[in-house]
Structure 1
Amino acid sequence: MTVTIYDVAREAGVSMATVSRVVNNNPNVKPQTRKKVFEAIERLGYRPNAVARGLASKKTTTVGVVIPDISNAIFAEVARGIEDIANMYHYNIILCNADKKKEKEIRVINTLLEKQVDGLLFMGGAVTDEHLQAFKSANVPIVLCATTDENGAIPSVDIDHEAAAFDAVQTLIKNGHRSIAMIGGTLQDPANGYARFQGYKRALEANGLPYDENMVRIGNYRYESGVDAMKYFLELPSRPTAVFSATDEMAIGAIHSIQDAGLKVPNDISVISVDNSRMASMVRPQLTAVAQPMYDIGAVSMRLLTKLMKKETVDNPKVVLPYEIVTRQSVGSI
């Protein structure tokens, strides 16, 4: 049978209120009494009911995390940063995979709120009116992680994706490239898609290079779409000398398409991406990439959420973290 707080109180010869104070680390308990209660807990194998404690305190010390794709190494790194800080502040995590599908994201958000989480971290694509409506119905703090809303009304932690894309394309241009293609994400995605596309276009414009829509293919962030996009570029009458990819996985697909066609990277075509996941250093040649501080994005997001949950003062609810370009072997000069 389940051991209750009443059983512990009877075993220790104290009141249920005293057991409750001991379990909840209330300092107003004599050391001798505290020792007696802990001994009773150990003998009986009592485990406090977190749900009941949450109902009493109106706090569950649980945070809901909506993640687009747990199989993606980039998001796994963010989740690790979240969990490490959550453990530091004694919060538990409920991690939900939403596949970057709006309907599933909304359903998961509502499910987490029904579970009485104390706060919510949202990683996803576009923050739509439906998302904002779900967030508005919540009575708990929400932080956007590795994404932002259009109006900047919700606290968020991310990098400047447009600037990151601009700098990546600038790297290619500084190496003499003038015919630069892009493998992008969906333009409905404000960060990986639209912002990085805008950074690509702005870099071309800043250097007096024409924008050609034939030099842009929209992928789905996966390896296969990088393979297909690069096959398309290779069949153009005048193929590009360099490719900017919105993600490492698509960039690696592009590299393999180039190699399958009997060409070399970077001798024939240079490739650069944004992410700098572990895969970037595993592919050959190793991939030059804009490094997002994914672990830090997760850690800072969770720390910001803890401040909001504890109603602490937050000086800047919109945090933009720095990035850097990691130079490897996939970009050459012409």
Structure 2
Amino acid sequence: MEKQTITIYDVAREANVSMATVSRVVNGNPNVKPATRKKVLEVIDRLDYRPNAVARGLASKKTTTVGVIIPDVTNMFFSSLARGIDDVATMYKYNIILANSDENNKKEVQVVNNLLAKQVDGLIYMGHNIGDNIRNEFARSKTPIVLAGSVDPEGQLGSVNIDYIAAVEGATKQLIQSGNERIALVTGPLKDAINAQYRLKGYKEALDDAGIAYDESLVFESEYSYQAGLAIFAELQKSKATAAIVADDEVAIGILNAAHDAGVSVPDDFEIITSNNTKLTEMARPRMTSIDQPLYDIGAVAMRLLTKMMNKEDIDEKTIRLGFDLTERDSTK
């Protein structure tokens, strides 16, 4: 038997009140007599009535729904951000539609359009690559957009992140101080601003300060995956690197395990600093030294910034930078 959809009309008829009264009860409006409220809530329970969020959205021109675009739902970096986003969304009574974009540019445009077609009130985008086509989609839409854990060098979009230049510069200096001269930078694609204009810049500045010549054969572009880390270790050995700064924890663990399989001791023969300080850094052996960015807070603050933009509140600064640390563990000397 097909489940009948219970409407506000059914609740009003059963409780013998107007639809406006049911609406007031559902929306928590105080102007309802306690006895009436009790009666309506009992009917709602008995009929298992669930207010239709889409219909409410049409009436108020707001769907109270936020689209969240996540490049890889299995990667702990993105899932940690998503937890912060979700908790603040719940607090402000927004529903979330989560869409996975597979870090694929064509799919990202399609995902953005699908979410905008669902009339979301705002978007949080976690991808690192903001290509021209995705920027055009953002520009065409009047929907507020915030980047979480990424950067917009053009400053058009809201964004919440850390100072990636300073973070990588500090990590590189640490490796120079412990006696490394051939330090590799294993980063995501250099077509992404976060890698080319921020991480790479911090790396170069630290080398420059120490009087070490920049060698582009020590910069490796990688996918953000464990498999990519395993594969890249042989390249690192060929480059005669004695240490690496790695932009993603899964990649870092791939490098760590490949080093172990090759009989290379971490940290004695090869030092590793990773970037996201997800739970993986504590699970690895040796435990991994990492740049510590507050992932949950980045997600939470991004969602709070988006609520302000959606409600057209005054915003002092569209780019919010949170603090970071370097957490030292056993993958460095």
TM-score bin (small chain): over 0.9
Residues 259-298 of structure 1 correspond to what in structure 2 (within 5 A)? 259-298=260-299
Q: Does the C-alpha gap of structure 1 residues 207 and 55 become closer, same or farther in structure 2, counting only changes over 3 Å?
A: same
Q: Which amino acid is 1:276 matched to?
A: N
Bigger drift between 173-182 and 82-91 goes to 173-182
The aligned residue for residue 249 of structure 2 is 248
Q: In the TM superposition, what whole-angstrom CA distance separates every residue of 1:138-165 from its partner, at most 9, and x where no partner exists?
A: 2322111111222111111011112111
Runs of 4 or more consecutive aligned structure 1 residues displaced over 4 Å after TM superposition: none
Q: Does the C-alpha gap of structure 1 residues 136 and 240 become closer, same or farther in structure 2, counting only changes over 3 Å?
A: closer
CA positional deviation for 1:286: 1.1
Structure 2 Cα separation of the partners of residues 21 and 28 of structure 1: 7
Q: In the TM superposition, what whole-angstrom CA distance separates every residue of 1:197-248 from its partner, at most 9, and x where no partner exists?
A: 2211221111100111222222112222222222123234xx2222221222
Q: TM-score, normalised by structure 2?
A: 0.94
Residues 123-138 of structure 1 correspond to what in structure 2 (within 5 A)? 123-138=126-141
State whether residues 288 and 331 of structure 1, in contact with CA within 8 Å, keep that contact through their aligned partners in structure 2.
Answer: yes
Structure 2 Cα separation of the partners of residues 224 and 2 of structure 1: 48
Q: Does the C-alpha gap of structure 1 residues 227 and 44 become closer, same or farther in structure 2, counting only changes over 3 Å?
A: closer
Structure 2 Cα separation of the partners of residues 172 and 132 of structure 1: 37
The aligned residue for residue 82 of structure 1 is 85
Structure 1 Cα separation of the partners of residues 195 and 90 of structure 2: 29
Structure 1 Cα separation of the partners of residues 48 and 256 of structure 2: 57
Q: Does the C-alpha gap of structure 1 residues 192 and 291 become closer, same or farther in structure 2, counting only changes over 3 Å?
A: farther
The alignment yields a C-alpha RMSD, in angstroms, of 1.5
The aligned residue for residue 55 of structure 2 is 52
The aligned residue for residue 206 of structure 1 is 209
Structure 2 Cα separation of the partners of residues 80 and 169 of structure 1: 30
Structure 2 Cα separation of the partners of residues 216 and 40 of structure 1: 65
Q: 2:79 matched to 1:97?
A: no
CA positional deviation for 1:26: 2.1
Residues 66-77 of structure 1 correspond to what in structure 2 (within 5 A)? 66-77=69-80
The aligned residue for residue 3 of structure 1 is 6
The aligned residue for residue 307 of structure 1 is 308
State whether residues 181 and 243 of structure 1, in contact with CA within 8 Å, keep that contact through their aligned partners in structure 2.
Answer: yes
Structure 2 Cα separation of the partners of residues 25 and 116 of structure 1: 24
State whether residues 227 and 256 of structure 1, in contact with CA within 8 Å, keep that contact through their aligned partners in structure 2.
Answer: yes
CA positional deviation for 1:132: 2.1
Q: Which amino acid is 2:117 matched to?
A: E
Structure 1 Cα separation of the partners of residues 47 and 184 of structure 2: 67
Task: Name the SS for the 1:116 alignment partner.
Answer: coil
CA positional deviation for 1:127: 1.6
CA positional deviation for 1:194: 4.6
Structure 2 Cα separation of the partners of residues 16 and 75 of structure 1: 43
Q: Which amino acid is 2:172 matched to?
A: V
State whether residues 127 and 150 of structure 1, in contact with CA within 8 Å, keep that contact through their aligned partners in structure 2.
Answer: no
Residue 231 of structure 2: which of 217, 228, 232 is its match? Answer: 228
In the alignment, structure 2 segments of 5+ residues that lack a partner are: none
Structure 1 Cα separation of the partners of residues 128 and 323 of structure 2: 21
Q: TM-score, normalised by structure 1?
A: 0.94
Q: In the TM superposition, what whole-angstrom CA distance separates every residue of 1:265-320 from its partner, at most 9, and x where no partner exists?
A: 11111111211111111111111110111111100001111111222222222101
State whether residues 193 and 246 of structure 1, in contact with CA within 8 Å, keep that contact through their aligned partners in structure 2.
Answer: no
Q: 2:66 matched to 1:63?
A: yes
Task: Name the SS for the 2:186 alignment partner.
Answer: strand
Q: Does the C-alpha gap of structure 1 residues 259 and 2 become closer, same or farther in structure 2, counting only changes over 3 Å?
A: closer
State the identity as a percent. 51
Q: Does the C-alpha gap of structure 1 residues 288 and 17 become closer, same or farther in structure 2, counting only changes over 3 Å?
A: same
Task: Name the SS for the 2:152 alignment partner.
Answer: coil
CA positional deviation for 1:20: 1.7
The aligned residue for residue 143 of structure 2 is 140
The aligned residue for residue 185 of structure 1 is 188
In the alignment, structure 1 segments of 5+ residues that lack a partner are: none
Structure 2 Cα separation of the partners of residues 139 and 30 of structure 1: 41
Structure 2 Cα separation of the partners of residues 317 and 62 of structure 1: 21
Q: Which amino acid is 2:33 matched to?
A: K
Residue 33 of structure 1: which of 17, 36, 45 is its match? Answer: 36
Structure 1 Cα separation of the partners of residues 295 and 175 of structure 2: 24
The aligned residue for residue 175 of structure 2 is 172
